[in-house]
Chain A
Amino acid sequence: MEASYERPDKRRIDELRKIKIVPSVLSRAEGSAYIEWGQNKAIVGVFGPREALPQHIQDPTKALVNYVYRMATFSVPDRKAAKPGRREIEISKVSGEALERAIFVEKFANTTIDIYAYLFDSNAGTRCAALTAASVALADAGIPMRDMVSACAVGRANGTIILDPCKEEEDAEDAVDMPLAIMPRTKEVVLLQMDGLISKEDWKKAFELGVKGCLQVYEIQKSALKEKYEKVKKEEQAVIEYLNEQLESAEDAEDSGETLAGGENLER
């Protein structure tokens, strides 16, 4: 590995681009997230679990995960055709399968979970950005999951193994691009693709670097989700009171709800 290799955007070889994640940006979606990953920008909306239609696609053993990855026509320098191409359909499939592994699909029989990921600006590594945001959106929707899914790409450009290649590096002559998604707790790989030629030793190095990158992404996802409830952290005491109250009222709720539906106050 050449230490002297300088990247086009002056990053270290094991440094990610700047990532910003904001959960709950869409009011009509159950859960949503906005992500800025370097120049990449995407919004992800999660709808469901809802009834899967037409009925014959329903699976009585599990929920279907319908992941839709689309790039806007203006997301690339030359206008892209609006019709989803082979690439988009493929990414939708593999990303959906990656998330399906993390979601407790067996809890929601006969339903579908729709995830729509739209890219508005792109510059290499969009599938990782979209998948990372989708995982945040799913958590924001309150859908039960085994773990988050964190993704990032590794690659090689000009003989150096680098984390999170940008467009220029992706187009290098000896370029290798390897998008990787893991579940950070178990480090289980849920998505792994690659193009280019690479030796076994280099691949191992790249993979290790990729896992490290994913763990960094995970920390960003974590803080983005928790930030929303920062107030809770500040008022530790308040949380304790709230929980005590909720513990009791959860039990009370059943009784009182019942008597009300019994209808004393309706006759007024």
Chain B
Amino acid sequence: MEPKIVIPGELVSDKKMRLGPHVFVENGKIYSDTIGIARVEKGLARVVPLQGKYMPKVGDVIIGIVVAEEYSVYAIDINSFYYSFISKEDTRIVLRKGNVVSAKISRINEINEVSLSNVRVLYGGEIIPVEPTRVPRIIGKNASMLTLLQNGTKCSIIVGMNGWIWAKGSDEGIALLKKALDKIEHESHLANLTLKIQKMLFEKKST
């Protein structure tokens, strides 16, 4: 079946098959629960969302900001709908309010509260917010897009799966990076994006 755009409640497949993300079953038929691109293949029905907030997933590397320190935990804003926590027992690093950290999601409980591990503090730089649904596109196949961005802008970049990108570099580099990210976000559903970005980055450099 060809991929097609679906809106919430639209039919994805009327056959019985495995369920991917963003689909649900009602009366034996499979429907989409969000606006996205439906794809049915190899007995798997799935919808790639075009909009939406970041949903935490175990194993994701994310960028967060420390918002509070409590008796035994640090509360971290991870651009999701709930704060996540770093247990003080798990880390030796002393964090302060306002610190930017990168961390890995180690556990999620049934009400979407998140525990983080592998914490490290990032000094300087800045956070560039993007649509969480576009993050795979920013990393690219075998991190091709990310490598390109790093080489093109001479910035250190860490991509958080939650849609926050931490970058550190020269002012021109950051400005160029922001432009490139903007382009990726707006044209993420089009082909040959890597080539376009390559052209953009290296044209800017020569002038």
Contact = CB atoms under 8 A, between A and B. Distances in A.
A, B assembled together: yes
A248 B139 CA distance: 11
Chain B CB within 10 Å, residue with most, of A108, A143, A233, A246: A246
Interface in A60-91: 60
B145 to A, nearest CB: 8
A246 B102 contact: no
Nearest to A233: B5
Contacts of B59: 254
Contacts of A250: 136
B178 interface: no
Interface string B40-51: 000000001111
B137 to A, nearest CB: 7
Nearest to A50: B81
A213 B152 CA distance: 54
Nearest to B155: A265
Interface stretch (A120-128, A134-142, A158-166): A134-142
Nearest to B140: A249
B81 A49 contact: yes
A53 interface: no
Contacts of B37: 232, 239, 243
A11 interface: no
Interface stretch (A173-181, A191-199, A222-230): A222-230
Contacts of B66: none
B9 A232 contact: no
B120 A142 contact: no
Interface string B11-26: 0000000000010101
Interface residues of A, number: 62
Interface string B46-64: 0011111100000111000
A238 B146 contact: no
A257 B49 contact: no
Contact of A145 (B34, B104, B156, B160): B34
Contacts of B140: 245, 249
B11 to A, nearest CB: 8
Interface of B: 2-3, 5, 7-10, 22, 24, 26, 31, 33-35, 37, 39, 48-53, 59-61, 81-83, 102-104, 110-112, 118, 120, 133, 135-137, 139-143, 146, 150, 156-161, 188-191
The 9 A-B pairs at the shortest CB distance, nearest first, are namely A142-B52, A147-B9, A142-B51, A238-B191, A145-B8, A256-B143, A109-B111, A144-B33, A257-B61
Interface of A: 30-31, 48-51, 60, 102, 104, 108-111, 138-148, 183-186, 221-222, 225-226, 229, 231-233, 235-243, 245-246, 248-250, 252-254, 256-258, 260-261, 263, 265-266, 268
Given A141-B53, A252-B142, 13 more contacts: A141-B51, A142-B50, A143-B34, A144-B33, A148-B8, A222-B7, A249-B140, A256-B143, A256-B146, A257-B161, A261-B102, A266-B156, A268-B156
